[in-house]
Amino acid sequence: MASKRIVLKFGSGILTRKDAPEPDPVQLRKLVEAVALLKRAGHAVVVVSSGAVASGLKPLDFQQRPSDVTTLQALAAVGQTHLMHAYESLLRDHGLHVAQLLVTHEDFENAERAPRMRAVMDRLIEFSQVVPVINENDSVAIEELRYGDNDKLSSRVARFWGADVLILLTSAPGLLRDMKKPEEGPIPVVENVDDVIHHAEEEKSTLGTGGMISKLRAVQDAVHGGVECIIASGRHAEQIPGLVEGRGVCTRFPASRS
């Protein structure tokens, strides 16, 4: 298979324990192993990772996530170092290294900063042993803290970088046919994401989890920018290489031809 540019988005929901608001080391190890397999197959991989706030809770003796933005920013400032240390330690087991990029949305829009940002990303990808891990700089920017989970950021990164595919990993196996009947599984392919978003926003009792609508909006932005998108379960990290090859349980959103 030809080399692809792949953006993987890891949300807080798949990076933290199911029973406590703290990082899940077993889960993170599985996700990193999937990244290593993609790299070994010759793909260029960028990770957009949440999890900084969750990683700062335990070091600062918080039992639960606070609500005020200033404290969240402080937790992110502490947690980001712990999160990157975890990535570096796990990637090193596969002969890889993390490259941390803390960004704001302005980095992709400012006429002076955007070309530098693109140049740095392209240069990092030239090093086969490096995995760029991007997060919003929560200590100075608060969009993720207010609106959640880096979906918009991952879409922006994918378009900006010219990715072939954006994989949004979440707690769901994809866009479910019926939220009330999860056993029916996800819709395999959605040709027109605009119709799905319209349905999701109107039928909030069916599809209206804020997290899924946020992901669908990110998908809408990405596919219109020429990026194929996949929504899949991050709790089954072992299928990530298969998703790139067209297999696995997920919902696929083909890139817009226009």
pLDDT computed for residue 184 by the predictor: 84
Radius of gyration of the chain (CA): 17
Residue 206 has pLDDT above 60, yes or no: no
Alpha-carbon distance of 154 to 167, in angstroms, equals: 9
Residue linked to tokens 């709790």:
235
Tell me, rounded to whole angstroms, the distance of Cα 14 from its chain centroid: 10
According to the model, what pLDDT value does residue 37 have? 98
Residue 148: Cβ-neighbour burial (10 angstroms; 0-12, 13-18, 19+): middle
**What would the pLDDT profile of 225-240 be if each residue is shown by its tens digit?**
999 999 999 999 999 9
In 3-state terms, what secondary structure has residue 231? Answer: strand
pLDDT digits (tens, 9 = 90+) for 3-35: 999 999 998 889 988 888 788 999 999 999 999
Assigned superfamily of 5-253: Acetylglutamate kinase-like (3.40.1160.10)
Whole-number Å distance between alpha carbons of 184 and 175? 11
Q: Give 59's Cβ-side CA count (13 Å radius).
A: 16
Task: Tell me what pLDDT residue 200 has.
Answer: 63
Kind and range of the H or E element at 85? helix 69-92
Q: Any idea where the domains of the chain sit in the sequence?
A: 5-253
Pairing of strands 97-103, 130-136: parallel
